[in-house]
Chain A
Amino acid sequence: MGHVKDFREIEQTYLPHQALLEASRCLFCHDAPCSNACPAGIDVAGFIRRLKSGNRAGAAQLIFQANVLGDTCSRVCPVETLCQEACSHTELLEPIQIGRLQRYAWEKGHSHLDVAPALTKTREMKVAAVGAGPAGLAAAAELTRLGYKVEVFEATSRAGGVLATGIPAYRLPRSVVEGEVDLIRRLGVKISYNQGFDGQLNPDALRAKGFRAIFLGTGLGQSVRAQIPGEDLKGVFWAKELLWAIKEDPGSHKDLCAKLGRRVAVIGGGNVAIDTACSLLRLGADRVEMVCLEGPQEMPAFPSEVRFAWDDGVEFHTRSKPLRILGEGGRVVGMEGVGIRWKKPGLFVPDNAVVIEGTEFQLRVDSLVEAIGQRPDETVAKIYGLETSPAGLVIVDSETGQTSNPSVFAGGDVVNGGATVVQAVAEGKRAARGIHRYLQENR
């Protein structure tokens, strides 16, 4: 199974006649289900009509209007569970390939965008966004369009959040996010990098600088640990950090490869685990074995991603629970796991797993990556005095994104616990409208 061993983007874009053939299948439904299924509310039928009539710039404009990260989303959205699942053409033949058409429309039309059309109203009020991930960028763009002066404070030196530091380049080249961030900046959003909470980001400092409302889109910063013996061995990694290192330097990974070795185990069954496993194969690992509690159909990863990993040559140990990491001389040499079944059917959580005695197994690996989830950095909620859920997620009003602190709004992973890019965009937009209402009422 000769899997590809580099980080070049896998999916190719449409040629013009292919795009036209696909677009001409679109029925242009009234009150189109695809648009309603898009959390960001992209007018899908509208942009496909424009594409079909040869108005490519107009198509890109519709996408940009609803989603400033439309190019990214055309690549990473789980379309088969969103717009394409809703597509009426499914009843006729098969859904329109909306994601690919969106990518094509963007590619052909974005250079002619009206990035920042003249505002109908400009306002003097300043709003701060903390975190330049999808939620923060979407909120900032929407607020700017509403006329506010917006500054985004980002902890790292990169804008894009997980787009810049997580999703591997073969699915999302860095240039895509950079292009979008550039447009957002041209829209009028100011982004400041390397900003931490310690100094000027604390709420009093922000208020003193004249920011009237704050949006928090800080995502999930902390990796969850499996808490099994052996985690302190050399050769144990956490997916978030590893993917970041890979994304930073997709060219030469000599040091990283040396640390990882030839055989790697990845713990977890979500998209992050899949991205990690497939990235490891691209780094040159001989064998990558995924160990997860869920069965093949139960994994939280998008089905298309699981299929992709399978085709890539990743090996799966499903309905399996890692017990311990085995070491020699302080280095990982393997891991031990055991088969499980579910106590209550249909409930795929660790507490519901029952070990099946006698199914213990061992894998010989040189390193192990844990990818079993992330949770928010709790200092964020603490500094702002926000109500949180037991899992540490910020609690917000479902209409406005307002937190328990009236001038603080939040959205994205830090609220929903980790969903999708497009969901983070939608929540950023929701909070922007909430902030607008709040500031109108509290001038």
Chain B
Amino acid sequence: MSQHVDLGTTFCGVSFDSPFVLAASPCTDDADMVTRAFQAGWAGAVLKTTSVEGTAVDLVYPMIVGLDHEGKRVFGLGNIDLISQHHIDEIEGRIRVLKKAFPQKVVIASMMAAIREDWKTVAERLSAAGVDLIECSFSCPQGTLGTRPGFMLGQDPKLVREVTAWVKEGAGETPVVIKITPQVADIVEVAQAVKDGGADGICASNTIPSLMGVDLETFVPYPRVDGKSTYSGLSGPAIKPITLRVIAEIARNVQIPITGTGGAADWQDAVEFMLVGARTVQFCTAPMHYGFRIIEDLTDGLERYLRDKGMRSPKELVGKSLAFITSHEGLSQAKKVVSRIRPELCIKDDLCYLACRDGGHQAIELDENRLPLLDEEKCVGCGLCLTVCPVSDCLYMEEVKPEQREDSQEGERS
């Protein structure tokens, strides 16, 4: 209880009162909404991506599809939204209003353009309007804003470097962040291009191109827009592991400040993002599902976690887990682990037995009371049984010391 925790952090030289930021999305496409979000406690907001004339924004509806999983809603969220329909003229005004009302909050503008001149002038105008950071979307996975349908700027490292430099020209003193796509063969190459182009930070990453499902009656995939469909951008909890890898890969290989986005739903997710290298964490699907009020648990949970860990600032978390990530060849084969069971917790669903029999190494037998018996000889320690067990801590992994192993073999033989 004693030591004081300050949730404040910095990203690209800008101070945030906490690491929690609203991502460019419908949540931020309206000044009143952002006002309510700031009042609720969000540290910053990335206004929905703006542009100039010439960039057509032809929205279609419905544009949102949920990915449900076994009765749980919104395990993932697919959207065929495009960038904001609000023109830069309007966004400039919003930035001024918001900065005036909330000088301590971070207002980030997201932008995109089609030609060099526009990238530069939009950045110029945003900077002149007093925005704290400029985020460039190189990663709209849907829509046809580029020359090639479905192509994302972020998929071509050469273009990434080039366009980043254009934006930097226009942005002047205002830091520039490039929002990339995870949909590339080599994320490190792209991140390096972002850095080489002169960007101050990187936003990793974005939604993932997906086909959300197919209606079995009509054969039309989702979302169904007047009998047709197209690919969606997938966000939400389903993509968190992908985002974590992207952040970690960038953090391990390129020296550039990272803001994380893609699948964070609560403060624990945010801590994970930071542990693998993010300085701030952006949220979109979670507030779209449960509202701006989630900020209350985000800050409370993070503060208590840091206090528990004896830390004073979320900055201490950044990159802390990177030292534990290595290549597969870097992992030790020396230690043998096996599964163990706490029979008193077993509820006898026998899912571990099935999984091990049909997806493992037949190391689990059932006794006459349907209690699983683990065969330490056959168990390779893959971890499948505890992954499927519905009871927490009923199964667990334990290292077997070589001597101990011999002992038990002896014991069995005699």
Contact = CB atoms under 8 A, between A and B. Distances in A.
Interface of A: 15-17, 20, 24, 28, 30, 46, 49-50, 52-55, 57-58, 61, 112, 114
B304 A57 contact: yes
Contacts of B392: 15-17, 20
A112 B304 contact: yes
Nearest to A56: B304
B296 A46 contact: yes
Task: Bin the interface of chain B by size.
Answer: 20 to 34
A50 B390 CA distance: 21
B146 interface: no
In the A-B complex, the 10 residue pairs with the smallest Cβ-Cβ separation, listed nearest first, are A55-B301, A17-B392, A53-B266, A58-B300, A16-B392, A50-B297, A57-B304, A49-B297, A54-B268, A53-B301
Contacts of A57: 304
B294 interface: yes
B304 A53 contact: no
B291 interface: yes
Task: Tell me which of A15, A49, A53 has the highest count of chain B C-beta atoms within 10 A of its own C-beta.
Answer: A53
A58 B391 contact: no
B267 interface: yes
Given A15-B392, A112-B1, 17 more contacts: A16-B392, A16-B393, A20-B392, A30-B291, A46-B297, A49-B290, A49-B297, A50-B297, A50-B301, A53-B297, A54-B301, A55-B267, A55-B297, A55-B300, A55-B301, A61-B300, A112-B304
Contacts, number: 45
B6 to A, nearest CB: 16
B72 interface: yes
A63 to B, nearest CB: 13
A53 B267 contact: yes
Nearest to A114: B1
A416 B412 CA distance: 71
A53 B268 contact: yes
Contact of B294 (A49, A54, A61, A114): A49
Contacts of A58: 297, 300-301, 304
Contacts of A114: 1
A53 B296 CA distance: 12
A24 B300 CA distance: 19
A61 to B, nearest CB: 8
A53 B345 CA distance: 24
B236 to A, nearest CB: 15
Contact of B390 (A17, A28, A61): A17
19 contacts: A15-B345, A15-B392, A16-B393, A17-B390, A28-B290, A46-B296, A50-B297, A50-B300, A53-B266, A53-B297, A54-B266, A54-B268, A55-B297, A55-B300, A55-B301, A57-B304, A58-B297, A58-B304, A114-B1
